[in-house]
Amino acid sequence: MRLNKKTSVWTYAGAIALVLIYLLPIYVLVTMSLRTVQDIGSKLQFPRIINIGNYIAVFREGTIWRGFANSIILVVITCSVEIVFGALAAYGIARSKGRFAKYLRYGSMTIMMIPRVTLLVGTYSLMVKTKMVNTLWGLGLLLAATGMSATMFFYVNFLSSIPRALDEAATIDGASVLQTFFYIIMPQLKAITVTRIIVVANGSWNQYLMPMYLLQDKSKHTIILQIKNAFSLSNGIPNVPKACALCVVGILPVILLYLFLQRYIIEGQIDSSVK
């Protein structure tokens, strides 16, 4: 009994320490955003005088709204294409009885192991030839294509647990394959769908490498590229507190999305571990 109590104490202590380690960068970021340029020396000490002028300046400049709009467009395109077509492909693989579907399943697992950065040169050449450079829809299609293998993999695992009797009953009632998928099967996949939406949206929102090379027009820059420009030395010495304020504003949408849908993430993780 004492051993269990000691174990639980150390477990909670370790969990608290881990949480503090994760919260420390956010604390430094927020406190830095509330300082003036002259008061950026003491990073861990909370500022004596709270300066919200950095946030006011960020919103007054107006470029942040364009960055938010571009990021939202990119997230919507990436999520829509990757979730819809990834789920459809997974449905075909899960319901197929042939060997080819089995090879596709293993192939999607293999593609997941390939880093995106290794595809950058060939991807850039393809984007130039198809005139998709400096376009948000082109970048969205690219991100959806490179991430679709992971989406297919997760959906296949869930679809394998759904009985084929549902498909057969829908077919007897006169439903087409697409009607069966969208009206019968897809509602059964709400947990994994919400989980994948959050993961894909987070990845698209925080994507840095691909937009940096493929979105050279500043009017197409996402919020992440605007943060990079704020910290850049190309325009002189950066205003660090103002750049930190831009960072805080830039990460808020993803944090709010996660807090709003975290229940579905936990459900999806539990279901995936069971399956």
pLDDT at res. 263 = 72
- Predicted TM-score (pTM) of the model is 0.86
Q: Which of left, alpha, beta for 44 (phi over 0: left; psi -120 to 50: alpha)?
A: alpha
Which ranges of the chain have pLDDT less than 70? 1-7, 42-43, 233-235, 265-275
pLDDT at res. 80 = 96
CATH of the domain at 126: 1.10.3720.10
CB proximity list for 86: less than 8 A, separation 6 or greater: 148, 151, 152, 155, 196
Assess if residue 228 is contained within a domain: no
Assess if residue 232 is contained within a domain: no
Assess if residue 117 is contained within a domain: yes
The count of domains in the chain is 1
Structure tokens at 8: 């639980």
Q: What is the pLDDT of residues 46-92, one digit of tens each?
A: 888 888 899 999 998 878 999 999 999 999 999 999 999 999 999 98
pLDDT at res. 101 = 76
Assess if residue 236 is contained within a domain: no
Q: Which of helix, strand or coil describes residue 98?
A: coil
pLDDT at res. 271 = 57
How far is residue 165's CA from residue 184's CA, in Å, rounded to a whole number? 11
Assess if residue 120 is contained within a domain: yes
Q: Which domain holds residue 178?
A: 63-223+250-274
Assess if residue 185 is contained within a domain: yes
CB proximity list for 217: less than 8 A, separation 6 or greater: 134
pLDDT at res. 108 = 78
Assess if residue 131 is contained within a domain: yes
- Count of other CB atoms within 10 angstroms of residue 221: 21
pLDDT at res. 250 = 92
C-alpha 114, offset from chain centre: 18
Assess if residue 8 is contained within a domain: no
pLDDT at res. 124 = 87
